[in-house]
Structure 1
Amino acid sequence: MPRRSGAATVIKTQAPALVIAKGVLFAYFFSLCIFLVFSTLIQFTGLTEAVLPYVAYGTSLITIFAGAAYVSSRLDTKGWLNGGITGLVYLAGLLIFALILLPDFSIHLGYVSKAFLAFVAGAAGGIFGINS
């Protein structure tokens, strides 16, 4: 039986949209884990619910950074752009969940700054992921 040459190996690349979707799902799962840790801390320590908005913002930015780093390390191209898109898709998913699950939820002008922060955190994660 003849030996096969390694030169004929075909490298399969995934579609960018699929990789971004995986990165966003990774970020959602990572957020869930961090929120579970903080809810346990709030339950069993003297922390109050007053820290929750800060924890939510911080967790979102950290997980967007991590998800964007995952995406850019898989795609190996346009790290800041793919990372920024990952951040925006993450935020869009949260807005869709909120519109479905919370009947009195409304979108206001403050979400422009949240979208900017999501893009910046994603772009930073994309730059980190492509360079590591």
Structure 2
Amino acid sequence: MKKLLSGVLGYGVGSIFILMIVFAGVLALLLRFTGMEYETLNQMALVAGISILAIGGMLAAYKGEQKGWLSGGMTGLIFVSAMILFQVVFENSWVSLPQLSYFGGLVLAAWLGGMIGVNLPRKTVKR
């Protein structure tokens, strides 16, 4: 259980936050220095968000080494809960129905990433 939690909290959620910050910076630079339209930016952000959560779920399950569906699902739920909390606290607004479907997609991506990550080959040390 300790490995599962350290995989989820340490590697899964941590990598998601880091990758989201990096990609937000890249999108900000693209928006500032190119003629990219807002709709294209929204589509890129959607694809990036889903991909990043799948990677986070994959890392969590790979490091947890067991129950990939649980590792990925917990990673997705923790991240989405943090997003909802930030929205409620800082924007003072509740979650809308389209946002719920987006959040559901993010949790599903992390869940599937967890199922893939637990089955990735591991390095073995020969003695």
TM class, shorter-length:
0.7 to 0.9
Structure 1 position 42 matched with structure 2 position 53: no
Quote the residue 1:96 is aligned against: 85
Q: Are the equivalent residues in 1 in contact too, given 2:5–2:64 (CA < 8 A)?
A: no
**Structure 1 residue 75: Cα displacement:** 1.0
Structure 1 position 121 matched with structure 2 position 86: no
Write out aligned runs for 1:25-64 (5 A): 25-64=14-53
Structure 2: which amino acid aligns with 1:49? Answer: Y
In structure 2, runs of 5+ residues without a counterpart are 121-127
Deviations 1:35-61 (CA, angstroms, capped at 9, x unpaired): 111111111111023334323322221
Quote the residue 1:17 is aligned against: 5
2-side partners of 1:70 and 1:129: how far apart? 6
Deviation >4 Å, runs of 4+: none
Q: Are the equivalent residues in 2 in contact too, given 1:64–1:122 (CA < 8 A)?
A: yes
**Structure 1 residue 15: Cα displacement:** 4.2
Larger of the two Rg values belongs to structure:
1
**Structure 1 residue 69: Cα displacement:** 0.7
Structure 1: which amino acid aligns with 2:4? Answer: P
Structure 1 position 68 matched with structure 2 position 57: yes
Structure 2: which amino acid aligns with 1:106? Answer: W
| RMSD of aligned Cα (Å) | 1.9
Q: Provide the secondary structure at the position in 2 that maps to 1:47.
A: coil
Percent identity between the two aligned chains: 23
Give TM-score scaled by structure 2 length: 0.81
